[in-house]
Homo-oligomer: A and B are copies of this chain.
Amino acid sequence: MTPQHHLPADIERTSIRIITEELDMMGLTPPPEHEAVVKRVIHTTADFDYARNLRFTPHAVEQAVKALHAGAVIVTDTNMALAGITKPGLAKLGGMACCYMADPEVAAAAKEAGTTRAVAAMKKAAQEHPGAILTVGNAPTALLTIAEQIENGLRPALVIGVPVGFVNVVESKERLFAVCEKHGVPAIAAMGRKGGSNVAAAICNALIYSAAEMLDPSARGWK
């Protein structure tokens, strides 16, 4: 292997050092349990606001890593988030990720019920993979559907609630987080307006790499 092939990994390490130093300088050093997720989201966005915005239920990361080791499926609400999830990382865990937004059955169900595809896609996800990691980076209605399903008994392994936007977004994340806390469902959310498919994928990747590192500690030094 030529030295250039090491470049992306070197750049990643340098980036994380810079992020760590700047977080420390700003007095925003994340607790060890949240470190990998917070730093990867900042790496993906160059936006230090996420050190303040990201909220975790107690032991959410630990529970998510356990779920990934047990083969939990990751379901996303956009194909863009799905495209951003690390395929080599998932393969190491024998894991799987999917998205139902382009599913013809979902389009038909949405039309019949007079709802959005995002809602119908999350309903299908809840049916097909009740113990999944449900990831929402785009549609607040998808997050509200998950909250409703949790009230009705659904117990996903984790809910990642990071839709972005200006209408119903802040409220959807607050509602989701409250419902998850109430029913003991692990959750990671970006409070406020910010988020997105890139943030959703970054959180999934931080969890996947953390889970993979436990199986092979030599694999990466991300923290």
Contact = CB atoms under 8 A, between A and B. Distances in A.
Contacts of A131: none
Nearest to A22: B166
A96 interface: no
Contact of A80 (B43, B47, B201): B201
The winner among A14, A46, A141 for most chain B CB atoms within 10 A is: A46
B167 A15 contact: yes
A14 B198 CA distance: 23
Interface stretch (A5-13, A23-31, A67-75): A5-13
Contact of A83 (B11, B15, B79): B79
B4 A115 contact: yes
A135 interface: no
A52 to B, nearest CB: 14
This chain's copy number in the assembly: 2
A164 interface: yes
Given A43-B165, A82-B83, A114 B2 contact: yes
Contacts of A82: 83
B14 A167 contact: yes
A194 interface: yes
Contact of A196 (B7, B116, B165, B198): B198
B45 A164 contact: yes
Contacts of A4: 114-116
The 10 closest A-B pairs by CB, nearest first: A2-B114, A46-B193, A83-B83, A15-B166, A80-B84, A80-B83, A198-B198, A18-B166, A46-B194, A11-B167
